[in-house]
């Protein structure tokens, strides 16, 4: 019965992955060029993108072949290139916060200033939008040891950009590490290659300190150690050693700590915890003690983080407005998720702001939401899901780059001209390269059925890889379903799923490359998969 249930979950994930891939194939024009949202940038036709994806698979195959003998050289080269891009972005494209992220950074700067009056430390914005309080508190914790060097607002933005880029490299390292251990170092090289070919991710995302940009690296590392806890190969390797206990304990503590920080910064990350719980219960039921230990550790770190945050809020005189009329009912999120095809807009703001009274506002939003569902019907709802998937992963995305065209050093006119010139020259190329990489990873999902069938032979290593793949796939799909079913979508929301998608794409692409190389070399299987 357990085996059948495992099979049902796995093949349900495979079908969902196939539907996502199929949706992306219908996300733009087949032969003529496409335009990104608002017509800001030009995107390639689907055929051209697919041809370039084939070239990327050829590069993956070459990397896989070269890595067979020169792994260390390839790994060093990829890391040097990635670090160069990440560091170069700080100098040549120093992106500045916009909208809500700017409000967060301004608030942190105010908290760091000793001359600020205690009663005026917190902006009223954070009483109305308390969801951005945790990231503000977290940044205040990070910045406090360095406040002696923060003399101007630009100093703070640079500090946050450095923190963000370091967190980005930290998360990439850990995801590559677990891929190395379970899937082989050649697959790890492919993952790093995919990261290198995602310049929008390496250059822009974590330079701007906000809840999602800082929550994601901690989520990645937390998932990495969660996979390590149940790593069959590691358990087998250290089965007769005292270090096995300490290794497992270390993995539990680190996984719980990083996941707790991620949840603190971005509470909707809880959907990943719920999804991973399903996988762990189904595939690792016999290791229930490890699961219980992980849950208990996660609870301890979550409550501890919240308690320390409350102390900080008290010391900085934060006061949450208790007026019920200033709150937004949960129905407003569903309204945004479906009313305008999954995007926010002025029409939605007109609905949510029509009434000041909370009960009247809630009733009116619910009325408009039900009217919209009735108008959409089942076909319209499915079409909305299709459109939202394409906003996240489709070939007409710009990864949010049209919004992130503001740079630090606002007072330096010459520097601003230089940054904008580079932006206009470089950004279209960044978008094209990132689109090809994402499309390659998405289309690789089509070979998931073959991958699972090939790994379903009872061998310990294949079982280990199958389970780890399931955890990565469940994480990716849980986050995707959250945005598609319950939340609004914007092009840059892809980043919460992106590292897991790239990891899955690297595994499947190298699996395909391995089959190509095996056929070219008389069926000889290369090491590393």
For 184-194, give one letter per residue: b (16+ CB within 10 A) or e: bbbbbbbbbbb
For 330-347, give one letter per residue: b (16+ CB within 10 A) or e: ebbebbbbbbbbbbeeee
For position 355, what pLDDT does the model report? 84
For position 8, what pLDDT does the model report? 86
Instruction: Enter the tokens of residue 9.
Output: 């979950």
Q: Are 185 and 143 in contact (CB under 8 A)?
A: no
CB atoms within 10 A of CB 391: 23
For position 115, what pLDDT does the model report? 63
pLDDT in tens, 223-232: 999 998 887 5
Mean per-residue pLDDT, 430-453: 95
pLDDT in tens, 443-461: 999 999 999 888 776 667 7
Q: Are 431 and 43 in contact (CB under 8 A)?
A: yes
Q: Are 186 and 64 in contact (CB under 8 A)?
A: yes
Identify the three-state secondary structure at position 407: strand
**Residue 317 falls in which region: left (phi positive, over 0), alpha (psi -120 to 50) or beta:** left
Contacts of 34 (CB under 8 A, 6+ apart): 28, 42, 43, 44, 45, 46, 395, 396
3-state secondary structure 507-519: HHHHHHHHHHHHH
pLDDT in tens, 356-398: 888 899 999 999 999 999 999 999 999 999 999 999 999 999 9
Identify the three-state secondary structure at position 198: coil
Q: Where are the beta strands (DSSP E) in 27-143?
A: 34-35, 42-43
| Residue from 260, 157, 173 nearest 218 by CA | 260
> Percentage of the chain surpassing pLDDT 70?
93
Kind of pairing, strands 42-43 and 34-35? antiparallel
| Span between the terminal Cα atoms of the chain, in Å | 30
**What are 42's strand-pairing partners?**
35
**Rounded Cα distance, 168 and 172, in Å:** 6
Q: Are 442 and 20 in contact (CB under 8 A)?
A: yes
**DSSP element (H, E) containing 95:** none
Question: Could you tell me the pLDDT band of residue 303, with boundaries at 50, 70 and 90?
Answer: very high
Identify the three-state secondary structure at position 345: coil
CB burial of residue 1 (10 Å; 0-12, 13-18, 19+):
exposed
CB burial of residue 514 (10 Å; 0-12, 13-18, 19+):
buried
| Residue from 45, 42, 41, 49 nearest 30 by CA | 45
Contacts of 320 (CB under 8 A, 6+ apart): 127, 130
pLDDT in tens, 2-13: 677 778 888 899
pLDDT of 280 higher than 90: no
Among 69-73, 123-127, 201-205, 301-305, which stretch is predicted with the lowest mean pLDDT? 123-127
Q: Are 94 and 203 in contact (CB under 8 A)?
A: no
Rounded-to-10 torsion of CA 151, 154, 156, 159: -120
**Rounded Cα distance, 414 and 422, in Å:** 13
């Amino acid at each position: 019965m357990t085996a059948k249930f495992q099979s049902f979950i796995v093949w349900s994930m495979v079908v969902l992955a196939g539907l996502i891939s199929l949706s992306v194939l219908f996300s733009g024009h087949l032969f003529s060029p496409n335009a990104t949202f608002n017509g800001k940038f030009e995107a390639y036709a689907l055929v051209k993108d697919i041809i370039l994806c084939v070239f990327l698979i050829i590069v993956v195959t070459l990397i896989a072949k070269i890595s067979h003998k020169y792994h260390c050289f390839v790994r060093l080269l990829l890391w040097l290139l990635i670090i160069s891009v990440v560091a170069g972005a700080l100098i040549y494209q120093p992106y500045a916060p916009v909208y809500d992220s700017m409000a967060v950074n301004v608030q942190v700067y105010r908290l760091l200033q000793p001359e600020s009056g205690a009663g005026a430390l917190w902006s009223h914005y954070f009483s109305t939008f308390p969801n951005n309080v945790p990231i503000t508190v977290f940044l205040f914790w990070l910045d406090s040891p360095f406040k002696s060097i923060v003399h101007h607002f630009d100093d703070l933005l640079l500090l946050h950009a450095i923190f963000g880029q370091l967190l980005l490299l930290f998360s990439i390292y850990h995801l590559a590490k677990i891929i190395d251990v379970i899937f082989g170092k050649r697959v790890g090289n492919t993952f790093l290659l995919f990261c290198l070919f995602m310049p929008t991710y390496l250059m822009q995302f974590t330079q701007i300190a906000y809840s999602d940009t800082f929550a994601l690296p901690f989520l990645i590392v937390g998932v990495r150690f969660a996979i390590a806890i149940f790593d069959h190969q590691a358990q087998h390797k250290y089965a007769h050693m005292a270090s096995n206990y300490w290794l497992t304990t270390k993995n539990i503590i680190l996984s719980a700590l990083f996941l707790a920080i991620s949840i603190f910064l971005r509470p909707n990350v809880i959907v990943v915890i719920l999804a991973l719980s399903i996988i762990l219960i189904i595939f690792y039921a016999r290791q229930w003690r490890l699961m219980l230990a992980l849950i208990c550790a996660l609870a301890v770190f979550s409550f501890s983080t919240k308690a320390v945050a409350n102390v900080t809020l008290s010391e900085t005189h934060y006061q949450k407005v208790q007026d019920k009329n200033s709150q937004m009912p949960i129905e407003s999120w569903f309204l945004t998720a479906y009313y305008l095809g999954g995007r926010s807009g002025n029409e939605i703001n007109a609905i949510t702001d029509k009434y000041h009274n909370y009960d009247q506002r809630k009733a009116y939003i619910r009325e408009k939401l039900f009217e919209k569902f009735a108008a959409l019907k089942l076909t319209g709802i499915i079409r909305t899901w299709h459109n939202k998937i394409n906003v996240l992963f489709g070939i007409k995305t710009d990864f949010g780059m049209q919004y992130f065209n503001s740079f630090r050093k606002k007072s330096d006119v010459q520097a601003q001209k230089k940054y904008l010139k580079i932006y206009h020259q470089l950004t279209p190329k960044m978008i094209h390269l990132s689109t090809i990489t994402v499309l390659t990873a998405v289309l690789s999902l089509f070979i998931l059925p073959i991958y699972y069938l090939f790994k379903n032979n009872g061998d310990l290593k294949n079982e280990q890889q199958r389970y780890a793949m399931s955890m990565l796939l469940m994480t990716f799909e849980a986050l995707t379903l959250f945005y598609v079913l319950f939340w609004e979508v914007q092009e840059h929301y892809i980043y919460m799923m992106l590292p897991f998608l790239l990891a899955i794409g690297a595994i499947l692409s190298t699996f395909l490359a391995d089959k190509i190389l095996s056929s070219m070399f008389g069926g000889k299987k290369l090491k590393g998969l």
